[in-house]
Amino acid sequence: MALLWANVVISGVLIGLVYGLIALGLTIIFGVIRVVNFAHGAMVVFGLYIGYCTGLWWGMPTILAALLAGILMFAVGYYLESVVVTRFVTRPHHVQFILFIGISLLFTGIQLLWFGPDPRPSVSQLSFETISLGGIRIDLARLQAACATTVLILALAAFLKYSLFGRYIRAAADNRLGGLIVGIPIPKIYAITFGIGTACAGFAGALISPLFDAQPYLAVDFTLLAFVTVIVGGLGSFVGALIGGGKGALIGAGTGLGASALYTYKLNKKKRHYRKVRRY
């Protein structure tokens, strides 16, 4: 039983780091542009489908599929912000909510038209590979996803803190009008920031494609999960965003522990039932 709980905690922490990356993309968008992206979960699902298709058609490794998904979703986010979202930045929040819910429904509809409603399991061999550490078995797909996520979160932290463009992003988040006055290209900053947020979603979606069946209706689950993770550190908080992996790890571990506790309770209940049957 101790090994079971250890397996659950470790698996939860590893997948939770990916949840943290999803939440990181959401909070970066809100922190800079001040819009709440309710279509974030649908973008994660696009990453799932990219991971599924590249594995099915070309046998592409998951890491390369995640990089491709990140690039493609960055382009989608950049042009979506440049063409549509930029017109709603100064609108009331309820108008923005309607916009992003509509975008989410549009993305889900596109996924339904292209792939249908049926779950599509990954064909990657990574789904079946594990490693053993002292009796604890770890899914190689979870370990790879957690490592890649950690590297990306650290790279984003360094980019935002030390690069010139990262300083522009932080300046635009702190004072939009002041940034315009000193010559910072705020519209371009907004488009690139939205692209970074959607790239995080696409990258994370492709990373977990060996673990989840791709289906359009997962969009709501991923959106809710991102909001729960973000709220722990504060929506729009850059410090909270950069430690999003840690928050996601806690939530992933908590989810795993809850599932394990429920499994243990049902198992003990069955054992008590069998003992009563034997007595009679």
Q: Using alpha carbons, select from 30, 31, 22, 20 the residue that is nearest to residue 247.
A: 20
* Whole-angstrom distance, CA of residue 19 vs CA of residue 44: 10
The whole-number pLDDT of residue 102 equals: 94
The whole-number pLDDT of residue 76 equals: 96
Domain span holding position 137: 2-279
Going through 117-251 in order, the beta strands assigned E by DSSP cover 130-133, 136-139
Q: Using alpha carbons, select from 191, 62, 72, 81 the residue that is nearest to residue 123.
A: 62
Task: For residue range 44-85, list pLDDT tens digits in order.
Answer: 999 999 999 999 899 899 999 999 999 999 999 999 999 999
How many separate domains does the chain show?
Answer: 1
Stretch among 118-132, 180-194, 253-267 having the lowest mean pLDDT: 253-267
pTM of the prediction?
Answer: 0.86
Task: Report the percentage of the chain scoring pLDDT > 70.
Answer: 81
Task: For residue range 167-219, list pLDDT tens digits in order.
Answer: 999 888 888 888 888 888 999 999 999 999 999 999 999 999 998 899 998 99
Q: Using alpha carbons, select from 260, 220, 165 the residue that is nearest to residue 45.
A: 220
**Residue 44: which CATH number?**
1.10.3470
